[in-house]
Structure 1
Amino acid sequence: MDRRTFLKTGSIAAAAVAQAQAIPLVGESLLNDKKGSFSASHFGAFEANVRNSRFEGVNAFEGDDYPSSLVNALPARTYAEDRILYPCVREDYLKNGYKSDKSKRGKDKFVRVSWEKALELVANEIKRTHKEFGDDSIYGGSYGWYCVGSLNNPQALLGRMLHITGGYTSRTCTYSTHAIRQITPYITGTDESTAKPTAYPVLIKNSECIVFWGADVVNTNQIAWGVPDHKTYKYLKELKEEAKKRDIKFYIIDPVYNNTGMYFDAEHIKVNPTTDVALMLGIAHYLYTNKLHDEKFLRKCTYGFKQFKEYLLGNTEDKIAKTPKWASKICGVDEKVIEMLAKEFASKRTMLMGGWATQRAHHGEQPNWMLITLASMLGQIGLPGGGYGCSYHYSGGGVPMPAAATGNAQSEKSLNGSTGPQAEKGALSASPGLSGMSRKTKIDGPWQKSKVPVIPVSRIVECLENPGKEIKFDGNIIKYPDIRMAYWAGGNPFHHHQDRNRMIKAYQKLETFVVQDAFWTATARMADIILPCTLEQERNDITKAHSNSYIFAMKQASEPYGEAKDDYDIFTELLKHFSNKHVHAFTEGRSKMEWIEHFYNASYEKAKNSGVKMPSFKEFWEKGYCEFETPEVAKKFVRFEDFRKNPIVNRLGTPSGKIEIFSKKIASYDYDNCKGHPMWFEPMEWLGSEKVDKYPLNLISPHPKYRLHSQLNNTWLRHLEEVNGREPIWINTKDAKKRGIKNGDVVRIFNDRGQILGGAVVTEYVKEGAVRMQEGAWYDPSEAGEPGTLCRHGDVNVLIPDVGTSNLAQGNQATALVEIEKFKEEVPEIGIFKSPAIKGA
């Protein structure tokens, strides 16, 4: 949204906060009214307005021309009814410790305890578990979109604490990019989920055809792992305006006509969920058999097209030519449309914008491999406005950014992208980045020998179910450890993991489950010990923009709510139950503000050595941010330009130095579910499988519009989209009519894994046979802690299978087959957004 709309929305948000029930602060001291206390979040930077110690509103950061409405919900989140106000322990665990009845998790009552008691219980359990079961018996692989601060990064701090106390098991990969980040280094030598794509100004000037393939850039650029400055929207607007002048063609290839398709009035190619590889193969076959492919580029810049070609033409074991006709039967796209796309892509300067949606599926390694292969056949990789990019839909992808300062004196040209005296004048033309808390301390001690084995992040439930089991992963064999204790900080696994009912049973195997969070999420309600932490606006910290254009001060705007403590303080006080040496190893002798200044000064020195000026820490903290200019050369960046010109000199990080359409290394693993070149593998659940007789609708679960995964779902934002208090599910008009479902009906969505409620949105914007329900709605079981019970709110991951993508990535999925029916019983009340009953409160 533009700034005017933001301000209008902000006033509405402030009114909503004013109506919220006020819960007395514990130990509150009256602060003077503060306006303009600078802070930042995953939704953007802002100035926090505070009155009578309460965080009441936000003003958009002046450097953000397109602020997201999401940031307006932060005051409401701060004082949400489900805020955890004090340490709590599950009643049976308080009586019996690790010998408690694990089946009571999720439904047992909680008892309020002192911080001293809670930390004593946690410390004693860490000691006991290490002593009885060894280093790897504690799972500290907390995962999730923790706060943006460099100091209070709960996952880094948790790892640091557990490393100092004796070791733990951690995780590798992410739920967002599990398959793409494992497969693409084999293809191009880099993780394509984060690789810098061709800059938007280049696309605006040169592209003739832009394809959004499983990507919704308008929606997903609202947020960032760091802090978004939303510069993407400036370029999207320019791209739309340029399209009117040059008749740029836009396609959206997706089962759903999403926000991006609507914005660009793109032509919708309605593909069946999880069949994108078949569609790409059909296009590739037409390109090759009609000599529309670029043979010269394939010879010069790729390796292994010969092996792939034999598969494409049906000369290998399956004896099936991957023709448009063959592809059409699988993907649901008309044969003539497939041929049209092939001719369109080949005749125009085409940019294939591949998102992360297609790789969150069974055999999710294949779509991005095939996308790169298709782009290679078109031969436009390295040309202005052509090729592919797999990170445009993520915050700042394609946005020109400041160069990274190297820490050494550089020429003016390398720093600024042009000659001239800019460096001498002190132009802030390179970003030094910003460091943060490390998982390992620099203080010597016995902890230096602590082991930190890792498992694929999405395999945690399988690990709990099968200690000692060996699995194949990325060319290796890994053995699951025997996890007895889990400590979760800065994440919500009972949102982001799949197959909720299986997960509930698996977590009952833990002897102790500790959760450190600010809210009574479904995860917190499954815990034995709960430690309340502060939110970003309740503490001091430092962070940077995802684009590297800014470093932001995060100044405490309001006092901690209830008895909440900073994550840094929680771990420091916990380590007091071990020894002063443990505390010193954790803090390295620095206070919180000293750490913040230390992180800034490290950037300051790096910038200084690179000829880039930065203000002193005092000046920075007073102003609230430090800005770095983007050089003009960044606006001309073309991915693979140098490689295309000379692939021998500018080798990629692959064994051949080229784009590997065929990978000898992957082929050597001899996996039956991920072979040496991209292939069509039939998914475990899709519209072509036998299961459609029982569950005929293919559910997809994209990123939500009004939250970040599950974050902000406990605020007024959910009312902007929910239907009768339920998470909306889009269903095609014809599919709805067959089931007697009307717009606004509460429906039951179900399969063999579980059942949830949703609110029907009957629309032509979703393909017939597919239904769309956003991930991130909080899990709200009718019978707490009981597997199989109805989720009253609409947690889509109740229905998604927890099966690895393949032996290569062992990634997670985001689709499933389901059936839907009108819910005819009395619609139950939502209960998840209120705190549970607590004894002693």
Structure 2
Amino acid sequence: MSRPHSTPWGSFRGEMVAGTLRLHPRDGDPDPSPILHNVPSAVDHPARVRRPAVRRGWWEDGPGPTERRGREGFVEVGWDEVLDRLAAELARVRDAVGPQAVYGGSYGWASAGRFHHAQSQVHRFLNHAVGGYVRSVGDYSGAAAQVVLRHVLGPSELVSKGTVTWDQVAAHTDTVLAFGGMNLKNSAVAGGGISAHVERGAMAAAARRGALFVNIGPLRSDLPAEAGARWLSVPPGSDTALMFGLLHTLLLEDRHDTAFLERYCVGWERVAKHLLGADDGTPKDAAWAAGITGVPADEIRELARRAAGGRTLVTVAQSLQRAEFGEQPVWAGLALAAALGQIGLPGGGFCYGLGSIGHYGRRRVDVPVGALPQGTNGIDVAIPVARVAEMLLHPGAGYDFDGERRRYPHVRLAYWAGGNPFHHHQDLGRLRRAFGRLDTFVVHEPVWTATARHADVVLPTTWTLEREDIGAGPFDPVMTAMHRLVDPPGEARDDYAIFTGLAERLGVGAAFTEGRDVRGWLEHLYARTRDGLAARGLSAPPFDEFWAAGELSLPQRPDDGALVGAFRADPDTAPLPTPSGRIELASATIGAFGYADAPGHPAWLPPTELPDSRHPLWLVANQPATRLHSQLDFGAHSLAHKVRGREVVRVHPDDAAVRGIASGDLVRLVNDRGSCLAAALVTDDVRAGVVQLPTGAWFDPLDPSAEVPFCVHGNPNVLTRDHGTSSLAQGCTGQHTTVQLERYDEPVRQVRAHRPPL
């Protein structure tokens, strides 16, 4: 008998048949994600961590900075031994230095469940047992946009996710200017899970109605075939220049909506001055934009005229802001949409991130969804999430962030659960050196990721199929009862059981558990949703009925543009959460910070790293299509899309020809930070001068002791630059870098990333 479950890439029902897990995508999902095919092959995989494992040097010599992390072997120990030792180490750091010496590292993608949410679990534990922890702000996917939007439009959770829905696009939109595209591999996933993937169908419906999708970026595949898109192939980092060329045309030809700009915006005069070149002597006209983007000036002008002649939606993918000066395309895209005057109209205006994640473009659920309470952090110390290596390498150093001058804390212990920084962080050689500065590095992991291999203490955890939970999110209308489908291997325990054992040893067991087991917590979290349904007079079944039924439909808010729709109706009575209550096309607040790399209005700033004779190619290191980030890289679907066990890099025919490269050849990508092997795929789906290698292949260095890493599996983050987007947001810049590419004919060992190190 099949039972329901959910993952961030979709809901399904699963059953064991002759010892094999069989999955059935949820009825009603019109376009299930193929990532589901990774799941059955991952059950009890050899890559699983089966017993607690401790780095030999830490176990024998005690805590302290060392270069041996990632290079030294592990010993397996019993649960009581490791929990006793770890509790003592936590108490030592807490009592000798304080909670400001502990970093609570985590990420939110480990599970679709609301209770076994690793980030919430580790933060709750550290708050109770240590008195707090150094936290991170922002995320690797959206930090630059989150900061700039808060100043100029409003917090992204309130505003950018509520500006347009896929239903509106299907019914109303005439033109979609998709800067960075809207690749279905990205919108296939969302925190809390997805009950129905609707993006492909919405784009197909809009295209049948005559809507034009314009895919603006270096990758043809960043819009699906159903969109029938026009591809404007532009170099990485040039989107803001194209936006300015469009804006200049609207201004010069008097096609901008002056009434909208006057009533709903502040700062247009400053932007217009910049467009006309009054401040720097350089008009940002279509000819200027053509010189940067390669798009002919006449084509830019015609596109601006089309945009002004119908219902137009400007979208900015998260990928654009994952680059140096990533705040600027988000702000410039907002300015372009404001000049067209359609923000707040159905299917028009501006939407940051539409197509970048599954929750964007959907209506918000209209009842509360429970989340594990994390308690109170006793210290107020935070770093931008992508600056973790900088923090560890330079404790006490000053840095700028969002108008403040801050200093990095001196962290001695990092506790990681539910994340793999050796996937999402940049410059992995630098990251390895940074983790070497710690006294102790603790990791909860179901599998032997590179992060686990660089830890001191590795505690084996269950993964989603081996636990009960509740799958739900604020933008999906279905709550899923996540039944346990298989038994965990070896001695794996869930995060809650591990933290309970540690909390009891540290004298805070009762405060941490509140007297509840897992089922007790699930009933407690469900009660919040049930109470919300009952308050609205809707059916609110008790927990046992919900669990037996397998899912529960949740009401959604009307498709009315939410906050932005109310703002459009009357900006005086429904102002935006900005200093002026209006859309801030120029920001006095940001301008007052005095940052040269983030002025008080949108600006095109040339990248620090550009292709040159040594590194002549742009590398686009984007999200993979065959897995969620690095999760289940060893799954059947992920492995089937590798070649000779390596990740695949896409190369334009012109760039391949001059290097003697054919599809299937092993190639080496290299720059001064590192190098990696990949298998070539020669295709004109990438712009000439650009190669594309997705993230997520588990880091597998040929020589773990080498200062400059050489990954034989194809992890592009050995190449990417570990530098903040700007002084404003300090976001991740991992989307772009520059490399040389060469055919690799030397013998090389097989990939070992998915083999346990024991």
- TM-score when normalising by structure 1: 0.87
Residue in structure 2 matched with residue 4 of structure 1 by the alignment: none
Residue in structure 2 matched with residue 540 of structure 1 by the alignment: 468
Cα distance in structure 2, aligned partners of 1:154 and 1:780: 25
Cα pair distance change 1:609/1:121, threshold 3 Å: same
Cα pair distance change 1:304/1:90, threshold 3 Å: same
Residue 256 of structure 1, CA deviation: 0.5
Residue 712 of structure 1, CA deviation: 1.7
Residue 715 of structure 1, CA deviation: 1.1
Residue 144 of structure 1, CA deviation: 4.7
1:675 aligns with 2:599: yes
Count of residues in Structure 1 that have an aligned counterpart in Structure 2: 755
Question: Which region of structure 1 is more displaced relative to structure 2, 126-135 or 249-258?
Answer: 126-135
Residue 615 of structure 1, CA deviation: 1.3
Residue in structure 1 matched with residue 315 of structure 2 by the alignment: 353
1:553 to 469, 481, 490: 481
- Deviations 1:541-576, CA, capped at 9 Å, x for gaps: 112155331111112122221100011000001122
Residue 197 of structure 1, CA deviation: 2.8
SS in 1 for 2:386: helix
Residue in structure 2 matched with residue 801 of structure 1 by the alignment: 721
SS in 2 for 1:195: helix
SS in 1 for 2:500: helix
- Deviations 1:204-253, CA, capped at 9 Å, x for gaps: 222211222113242212111110123424xx325424533x42212100
Cα pair distance change 1:212/1:249, threshold 3 Å: same
1:811 aligns with 2:752: no
1:46 aligns with 2:9: no
Residue in structure 1 matched with residue 450 of structure 2 by the alignment: 522
Residue in structure 2 matched with residue 324 of structure 1 by the alignment: 286
Matches within 5 A, 1:653-664: 653-664=577-588
Amino acid aligned to 2:645: G
C-alpha contact 1:228 1:395 (8 A) present in aligned 2: no
Residue in structure 2 matched with residue 64 of structure 1 by the alignment: 29
Residue in structure 2 matched with residue 106 of structure 1 by the alignment: 70
Amino acid aligned to 2:99: D
Residue in structure 1 matched with residue 381 of structure 2 by the alignment: 453
Residue 259 of structure 1, CA deviation: 4.8
1:590 aligns with 2:525: no
C-alpha contact 2:173 2:312 (8 A) present in aligned 1: yes
C-alpha contact 1:779 1:795 (8 A) present in aligned 2: yes
Residue in structure 2 matched with residue 836 of structure 1 by the alignment: 757
Residue in structure 2 matched with residue 407 of structure 1 by the alignment: none
Question: Which region of structure 1 is more displaced relative to structure 2, 705-714 or 215-224?
Answer: 215-224
Residue in structure 1 matched with residue 569 of structure 2 by the alignment: 645
Residue in structure 2 matched with residue 27 of structure 1 by the alignment: none
Residue 51 of structure 1, CA deviation: 5.0
C-alpha contact 1:88 1:110 (8 A) present in aligned 2: yes
- Deviations 1:329-366, CA, capped at 9 Å, x for gaps: 22222222222221221122211122101100000010
Amino acid aligned to 2:139: T
Cα distance in structure 2, aligned partners of 1:697 and 1:265: 28
Cα distance in structure 2, aligned partners of 1:738 and 1:527: 43
1:374 to 331, 336, 342: 336
SS in 2 for 1:730: strand
Amino acid aligned to 1:379: G
Residue 400 of structure 1, CA deviation: 4.9
Matches within 5 A, 1:376-391: 376-391=338-353
Residue in structure 1 matched with residue 672 of structure 2 by the alignment: 752
Residue 643 of structure 1, CA deviation: 2.1
Matches within 5 A, 1:28-43: 35-43=1-9
Residue 58 of structure 1, CA deviation: 1.2
Cα pair distance change 1:790/1:458, threshold 3 Å: same
Residue in structure 2 matched with residue 627 of structure 1 by the alignment: 553
Cα pair distance change 1:47/1:205, threshold 3 Å: closer
Residue in structure 2 matched with residue 9 of structure 1 by the alignment: none
Runs of 5+ consecutive residues of structure 2 not aligned to the other structure:
none
Residue 540 of structure 1, CA deviation: 1.3
Cα pair distance change 1:659/1:242, threshold 3 Å: closer
Cα pair distance change 1:397/1:596, threshold 3 Å: closer
SS in 2 for 1:586: helix
1:315 aligns with 2:250: no
1:616 to 542, 555, 560: 542
- Deviations 1:42-64, CA, capped at 9 Å, x for gaps: 12111221257x56121222242
Cα distance in structure 2, aligned partners of 1:510 and 1:199: 45
Cα pair distance change 1:215/1:433, threshold 3 Å: farther
Cα distance in structure 1, aligned partners of 2:631 and 2:13: 20
Residue in structure 2 matched with residue 150 of structure 1 by the alignment: 114
C-alpha contact 2:365 2:475 (8 A) present in aligned 1: no
1:213 aligns with 2:179: yes
C-alpha contact 2:44 2:488 (8 A) present in aligned 1: no
C-alpha contact 1:273 1:686 (8 A) present in aligned 2: no
Residue in structure 2 matched with residue 464 of structure 1 by the alignment: 392
The structure with the larger Rg is 1
1:161 to 121, 125, 131: 125
Cα distance in structure 2, aligned partners of 1:262 and 1:763: 16
- Deviations 1:510-549, CA, capped at 9 Å, x for gaps: 1111111000000000011110000111111112155331
Cα distance in structure 2, aligned partners of 1:469 and 1:833: 37
Question: Which region of structure 1 is more displaced relative to structure 2, 212-221 or 162-171?
Answer: 212-221
Residue in structure 2 matched with residue 409 of structure 1 by the alignment: none
C-alpha contact 2:189 2:358 (8 A) present in aligned 1: no
Amino acid aligned to 2:162: K
- Deviations 1:161-213, CA, capped at 9 Å, x for gaps: 11112222111100000100010011112217852232223222222112221
Residue in structure 1 matched with residue 616 of structure 2 by the alignment: 696
Cα distance in structure 2, aligned partners of 1:150 and 1:135: 26
- Deviations 1:259-305, CA, capped at 9 Å, x for gaps: 52433221100011011111111111111111121111111111011
1:507 aligns with 2:445: no
Identity %: 34
Residue in structure 1 matched with residue 296 of structure 2 by the alignment: 334
SS in 1 for 2:295: coil
C-alpha contact 2:35 2:627 (8 A) present in aligned 1: yes
Cα distance in structure 1, aligned partners of 2:568 and 2:160: 20
Runs of 5+ consecutive residues of structure 1 not aligned to the other structure:
1-34, 405-431, 441-447
Cα distance in structure 1, aligned partners of 2:26 and 2:480: 11
Cα distance in structure 1, aligned partners of 2:609 and 2:461: 40
Amino acid aligned to 2:586: F
Residue in structure 2 matched with residue 199 of structure 1 by the alignment: 165
Residue in structure 2 matched with residue 776 of structure 1 by the alignment: 696
Residue in structure 1 matched with residue 712 of structure 2 by the alignment: 792
Cα pair distance change 1:740/1:639, threshold 3 Å: farther
Residue 84 of structure 1, CA deviation: 0.3
Residue 584 of structure 1, CA deviation: 0.2
C-alpha contact 2:344 2:561 (8 A) present in aligned 1: no
Residue 786 of structure 1, CA deviation: 3.1
C-alpha contact 1:540 1:555 (8 A) present in aligned 2: yes
Runs of 4+ in 1 over 6 A off after TM superposition: none
SS in 1 for 2:599: coil
C-alpha contact 2:414 2:438 (8 A) present in aligned 1: yes
Amino acid aligned to 1:477: R
Cα distance in structure 1, aligned partners of 2:744 and 2:316: 37
RMSD: 1.8
- TM-score when normalising by structure 2: 0.96
C-alpha contact 1:287 1:342 (8 A) present in aligned 2: yes
Amino acid aligned to 2:57: D
C-alpha contact 1:89 1:112 (8 A) present in aligned 2: yes
Residue 121 of structure 1, CA deviation: 1.8
Residue in structure 1 matched with residue 46 of structure 2 by the alignment: 81
